[in-house]
């Protein structure tokens, strides 16, 4: 039997369910996000369970039951305490389980999108900042149009913060790949012209 936990919920668990995973559980802190995930699962005709939970404090009943934990695009930037987050991902993994991360590369946090120039990336932010960024606009990830939204805070974690959080959780790095596209689609394929920074990140850890 193959179990799967996804933090936070979204397309990832549904894709893996279609690929053959047995029991799929998606965790998310937002009731609205869970409602949308439930609707998507219905449309895709895949059976997933969705659980409302802060990924930094997952319920103990899910301890040691998953073969795979998947963290997908646009997850880590919402987490203030990634040491705690990785300890929870480790908690829900079985012995021999694996943690897959498919995320935007932390280097992208150095760039803002120039909305007046069709989403072109502008180098603006300090990679080493520890201050959360407050955004008051929402983004349509496909059209790249923005709209007014409630303030939202992004937490910047350096690549070393991410790997060190996993090491502290007793996870072992098995695979690392840097990608030439942004898995969150926040930055489009043309955002950087010919001088692309690393835009995406794949990390695989084992227990």
Ligand X SMILES: C[S@@+](CC[C@H](N)C(=O)[O-])C[C@H]1O[C@@H](n2cnc3c(N)ncnc32)[C@H](O)[C@@H]1O
Residues that bind ligand X (CB under 6 A): 7-8, 10-12, 27-30, 33, 54-56, 72-75, 78-79
Residue 119 tokens, joined: 């989403």
Contact 87, 181 (CB under 8 A): no
Residue with Cβ nearer ligand X (7 or 69):
7
Minimum CB–partner distance for residue 84 and ligand X (Å): 10
Reading the block at residue 123, the tokens are 């180098």
Least distance to ligand X, CB of residue 160, Å: 22
SS3 94: strand
Alpha-carbon gap, residue 146 to 13, rounded angstroms: 27
* Least CB distance to ligand X at residue 77 (A): 8
Give the CB-nearest residue to ligand X. Answer: 10
Q: How far is the CB of 26 from ligand X (least distance, A)?
A: 9
Backbone angles phi, psi at 81, to 5 degrees: -115, 90
Q: Which helix (H) or strand (E) holds 110?
A: none
Q: Which is nearer to ligand X, 32 or 195 (CB)?
A: 32
The smaller minimum CB distance to ligand X, of residues 56 and 125, is found at 56
Least spacing, CB of residue 52 vs ligand X, in Å: 9
11 in Cβ contact with 40 (< 8 Å): yes
Nearer to ligand X, 5 or 12 (CB): 12
The backbone torsions φ and ψ at residue 149, rounded to the nearest 5 degrees and listed phi first, read -150, 165
User: Which residues lie across from 16 on neighbouring strands?
Assistant: none
Q: Is 48 exposed, middle or buried (0-12, 13-18, 19+ CB in 10 A)?
A: buried
Nearest distance in Å: CB 55, ligand X: 4
- Cα–chain-centroid distance for residue 69? 11
Closest CB to ligand X among residues 41, 55: 55
Nearer to ligand X, 136 or 172 (CB): 136
């Amino acid at each position: 039997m193959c179990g799967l936990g996804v933090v936070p919920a979204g397309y990832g668990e549904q894709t893996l369910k279609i690929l053959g995973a047995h029991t799929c559980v998606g965790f998310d802190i937002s009731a609205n996000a869970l409602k949308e995930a439930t609707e998507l699962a219905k449309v895709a005709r895949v059976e997933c369970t969705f659980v409302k939970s802060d990924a930094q404090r997952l319920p103990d009943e899910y301890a040691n039951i998953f073969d795979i934990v998947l963290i997908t695009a646009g997850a880590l930037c919402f987490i203030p305490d990634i040491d705690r987050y990785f300890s929870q991902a480790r908690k829900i993994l079985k012995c021999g389980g694996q943690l897959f991360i498919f995320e935007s590369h932390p280097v992208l946090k150095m760039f803002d999108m120039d909305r007046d120039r069709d989403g072109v990336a502008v180098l603006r932010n300090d990679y080493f900042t520890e201050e959360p960024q407050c955004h008051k606009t929402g983004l349509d990830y496909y059209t790249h149009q923005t709209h007014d939204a409630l303030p939202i805070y992004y937490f910047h974690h350096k690549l070393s913060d991410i790997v060190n959080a996993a090491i502290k959780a007793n996870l072992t790095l098995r695979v690392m790949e840097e990608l030439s596209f942004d898995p969150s689609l926040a930055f489009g394929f043309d955002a950087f012209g010919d001088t692309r920074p690393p835009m995406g990140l794949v990390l695989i850890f084992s227990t």
